[in-house]
Amino acid sequence: MLDLVLSILCSSIIFVVFKLFDSYKIQTLYAIITNYIVACLTGLFFYEKSINLGQIPSKPWFWGTLLLGVLFILIFNLMAKTAQKVGVSVASVATKMSLVVPVLFGVLVYQEKLSMLKILGIVLALSAVYFTSIKQKSIAVSKRDLLLPLLVFLGSGIIDTCINYFRETKLNIEEFPIFSATVFAAAASTGLIIILIQSLKTPLKIDLKNVLGGIALGVPNYFSIFFLLRALENEYWNSASIFTINNVAIVMFSTLLGILLFKEKLSLKNWGGILLAIISILLVALF
């Protein structure tokens, strides 16, 4: 339970840091790459066994981490484009509603059992994510732009599903830090390749505030994944319950942080979404 709470807390801090990026005019791509480097180093620091980098490619999960690293960068950029073209709330909804993908995967592949009350809780969770994230202003979008949130939805769901798959089939608990570090290293490498390609057109500039922003993001980013992996080891809750509680609680808690720290105003629908979130968490956790 504590691991799940810590994962939710770290993930919510990430949203706060992203909000501060805008306030301090931090260049997101540069900060994100720094963040992945910091997250990788954090994982290596907390790995208790001796590190032999030459043995990592022989691990059964190694090639999967390369795929996850590329997905991390691609989905983040898609999230950014979705927020710019369709709206931040739509990007948030698409990201968190992706909990459907790992939940269905757990039911179909691992034969996880869901009671009617848990199914009701998951349905309410999806409603809670929508109503908590929806904003009053409407944005005119083209049919082509509607593809963006769909890709974010699928990509985020695939990432969560892959993480759970590797935990179930390839990993032991001692390897969680080095696994997470390798994923972040792959993401950082992908980002650096993107920057190097971009530098052929635009000269590369290193700004201290971008580096500091990446450091502020990297530590909670690492622990959000690390504690999620540990939470999925819970013997009382299946992965469907964990992903549902995790995603809904992140939306709810980050929304409350937005009110407390940034004086954000909520509509009646937003408050209704928070109430639905609380009910859904109770249904999924208790039944």
Q: How far apart are CA 45 and CA 234, in angstroms?
A: 25
Which amino acid appears at position 103 of this protein?
V
Q: What is the mean pLDDT of residues 207-229?
A: 92
* pTM of the complete model: 0.84
**Is residue 287 very low, low, confident or very high in pLDDT (cuts 50, 70, 90)?**
low
Q: How far apart are CA 194 and CA 191, in angstroms?
A: 5
* Domain ranges, ordered by start, for the chain: 2-286
Q: How far apart are CA 282 and CA 258, in angstroms?
A: 23
The number of angstroms, rounded, from the C-alpha of 74 to the middle of its chain's C-alpha atoms is 13
> Tens digit of pLDDT for each residue in 177-197?
999 999 999 999 998 998 888
**Residue 75 · residue 220 · CB < 8 Å:** no
Length of the chain measured in residues: 287
Q: Which of 183, 151, 189 is nearest to 167 (CA)?
A: 183
* pLDDT over 90 (residue 148): no
